[in-house]
Structure 1
Amino acid sequence: MRTGAAAGHSGYFHEAVLYDSSDELLAVVLPFLLDGVAAGEPSMVSFGERHTALLRSALPPRCGVTFLDGGDVYARPSAAIRSYRQLLADQVAAGATQIRIVGELPPVAFGRFWDWWGRYEAAINHAYDEFPLWSMCVYNTRSTPPEILDDVSRTHPRTATADGRHVPNEVYTAPELYLREPRPVAPDPLQHGTPLVELVDPTPAGARAAVHAVAPEQLSADEVDDLSVAVSETVTNALRHGRPPVRFRLWAGDGRVVVTVVDGGSGPTDPYAGLLPARGATSGGLGLWITYQSCDHVAMQRGPDGFTVRLITGGRNAAG
């Protein structure tokens, strides 16, 4: 049985919390969590270090709230969706009729990598809708750029306020529409220079070899291996589903690698491509989803030259 504002609601009850002070944040989050515990509902927090400490100090000792590691949960959008879907499935299997989660994205999400976190916020309206989840996503109005706050209103059906209201967002946009909107991708600074590698119609093996040949020493062996898998999957998709020629370019420097793969096609038709496994896919249809979990940023863009996938590894903490 659903309780609170989500009573009578079927599926995912997704809210934003826009706050400008710690007191305002606690005024929304504390009753949300404590009411959940009182109702016997799993009630969880996925915050960064600062807000975790704030909330722990404000909650009663041994109150029953579970703290997740926000840094691990929000490493990458598709990995977050996969992790949360497993968590929610486990809770439902254990008998939960409603699950409450409050979370915040990491600071890196609010810079030049916002585009895929904005896609994440839209996609989860679909990805979690089979579960009795009520979640709140918190955003600091003092530090979050206005254009991101606009996206927050468009990707969250409602906003929870400190005075206990749950207000529908009039500009909320269905995820399939939001995800299909063209979004310009600003070039990485490395792309202003000459690529270290340029290949036309490369084999997946050739693309993997290029990554290993020029990856900077600041990247770990695991990061290089993950990127090589990602470029292999991306090239395979372009050769199999796109239109020739397929152009591969690679830049490296400042502790990161940037790769673009361009083909003459129009890209995937599935709006959730990369964030969720392809619908009905076998292991052969998981390439973009695997790529999203193997890189620090993935951007997709349609343009006059065709469809471009850009992969970045080593840039999670880059400014801008």
Structure 2
Amino acid sequence: MRTGAAAGHTGYFHEALCYDSDDHLLAVAVPFLLGGVAAGEPTLVGLGGRTADLVRAALPAGAPVTFLAGGAVYARPAGAIRSYRELLAGHVAAGAAQIRIIGELPVAALGVTWDWWARYESAINHAYDEFPLWSMCAYDTRVTPAPVLADVLRTYPRTALPDGRHVPNNGYIDPVSYLSEPRAPVPDPVQRAAPHADLVDPTLSAARQAVRDADPGVLPDQDVDDLIVSVSEAVANAQRHGRGPVRMRLWRGADRIVVTVRDTGGGPKDPFAGLLPAGDGTAGGLGLWIAHQSCSHVALHRRDDGFTIRLTAGNPHH
């Protein structure tokens, strides 16, 4: 049976917790967690170091609350979805009627890579809806940029307040509509220079070789290998499902390699492409999902004149 604010709700009960002080955070988080404990529900915390310590200190000693390694969970959006779905499925298989989780993204995620985390925040309304989950994601308004907070109100159906209310967000947009919007990623500074490679309609072997040739020798071999696979998948998808010409451009910096693959088609029809694997592995969905699992950052950009995927190996935070 569902409890608390989620009583009577079916599927995912998704809330934002936008707090402006430590007291504000605790006024929402502690009752939420203790309510789960009292109801005998799996109750989990995926907060970062300082906020996790703050919440841990505010809970009664020995409270059966599980603290996750928040930073590890939120390394990449697609990986976070995969990990949480496995976690939730395990609790449901064990008989849980409701699971409570409070988490937060790393501060670095709120910067230039926010585009794929914004997609994540929207997509999980669909990805977790088969589970009896009630979750809150905490955003410290003292350090969260205003454009990120604006996206939060568009990707979360409701907000939890310190006075115990759970109010709907009037700006909320359903995931299919939100994910279908054109979102221009923040340009990487390395793209201001001439590309190290600029290929039109490359063969897959030529695309892979361009990445090998560009490796400055500072990235781990696994990162380069993963980028090679992702670039090959992106070029193959553009050739198979897009519209020519296909253009691949590559830049290299001291701590990263950036590759864009562009075609003149409309991009994937599935708005969840990359964040969730395609059910049948067709239409490029599996390749995009592989790239989202292995690259340091993946940005998708639809425009009237074509679709571009940007893949980054190494430090994506500029």
Q: 1:121 to 1:284 in 2, by over 3 A?
A: closer
- The residue type equivalent to 1:215 in the other structure is D
The match for 1:255 is 255
- The residue type equivalent to 1:196 in the other structure is H
- The residue type equivalent to 1:73 in the other structure is V
State the 1:225 CA deviation. Answer: 1.1
The match for 2:125 is 125
The match for 1:215 is 215
Distance 2:303 2:50 in 1: 41
- The residue type equivalent to 1:290 in the other structure is I
- Determine helix, strand or coil for the equivalent of 1:209: helix
Contact preservation (8 Å) 1:217, 1:255: no
- The residue type equivalent to 2:76 in the other structure is R
2:192 aligned with 1:197, yes or no? no
State the 1:284 CA deviation. Answer: 7.3
- Determine helix, strand or coil for the equivalent of 1:150: helix
State the 1:282 CA deviation. Answer: 6.1
Large movers: runs of 4+ above 6 Å = none
The match for 1:71 is 71
- Determine helix, strand or coil for the equivalent of 1:130: coil
How far does the alpha carbon of each residue in 1:190-222 deviate from its partner, in whole angstroms, 9 at most, with x for none? 111011111121122222222122112221111
2:5 aligned with 1:5, yes or no? yes
- Structural RMSD (CA): 1.4
Contact preservation (8 Å) 2:26, 2:55: yes
The match for 1:146 is 146
The match for 1:265 is 265
Distance 1:70 1:206 in 2: 39
Mapping for residues 10-25 of structure 1, pairs under 5 Å: 10-25=10-25
- The residue type equivalent to 1:149 in the other structure is L
Distance 1:139 1:254 in 2: 32
How far does the alpha carbon of each residue in 1:3-34 deviate from its partner, in whole angstroms, 9 at most, with x for none? 00000000000000010111110110011111
- The residue type equivalent to 2:120 in the other structure is Y
The match for 1:58 is 58
Contact preservation (8 Å) 1:229, 1:294: no
How far does the alpha carbon of each residue in 1:104-124 deviate from its partner, in whole angstroms, 9 at most, with x for none? 001111111111111100000
Distance 1:234 1:189 in 2: 22
Contact preservation (8 Å) 2:246, 2:261: yes
2:161 aligned with 1:165, yes or no? no
Distance 1:131 1:7 in 2: 14
- Determine helix, strand or coil for the equivalent of 2:298: strand
Greater mean deviation of Cα atoms: 140-149 or 85-94:
140-149
Greater mean deviation of Cα atoms: 277-286 or 94-103:
277-286
How far does the alpha carbon of each residue in 1:286-307 deviate from its partner, in whole angstroms, 9 at most, with x for none? 0011111111111111235421
How far does the alpha carbon of each residue in 1:49-69 deviate from its partner, in whole angstroms, 9 at most, with x for none? 111111222222221000111
The match for 1:36 is 36
Distance 1:159 1:267 in 2: 33
Distance 2:290 2:283 in 1: 10
State the 1:280 CA deviation. Answer: 3.2
Distance 1:238 1:314 in 2: 24
2:294 aligned with 1:294, yes or no? yes
Contact preservation (8 Å) 2:268, 2:283: no
Distance 1:175 1:68 in 2: 26
Contact preservation (8 Å) 1:182, 1:301: yes
2:77 aligned with 1:88, yes or no? no
The match for 1:101 is 101
Distance 1:110 1:45 in 2: 20
Distance 2:298 2:159 in 1: 29
Distance 2:284 2:246 in 1: 20
Gaps of 5+ in 1: none
Aligned residue pairs total 318
Mapping for residues 309-320 of structure 1, pairs under 5 Å: 309-316=309-316, 318-319=317-318
Contact preservation (8 Å) 2:273, 2:285: no
Distance 2:284 2:13 in 1: 33
- The residue type equivalent to 2:147 in the other structure is E
The match for 1:241 is 241
How far does the alpha carbon of each residue in 1:239-280 deviate from its partner, in whole angstroms, 9 at most, with x for none? 111112111110001300110001121111111111111233
Distance 1:285 1:16 in 2: 29
Distance 2:147 2:285 in 1: 34
Distance 2:275 2:285 in 1: 13
Distance 1:310 1:104 in 2: 25
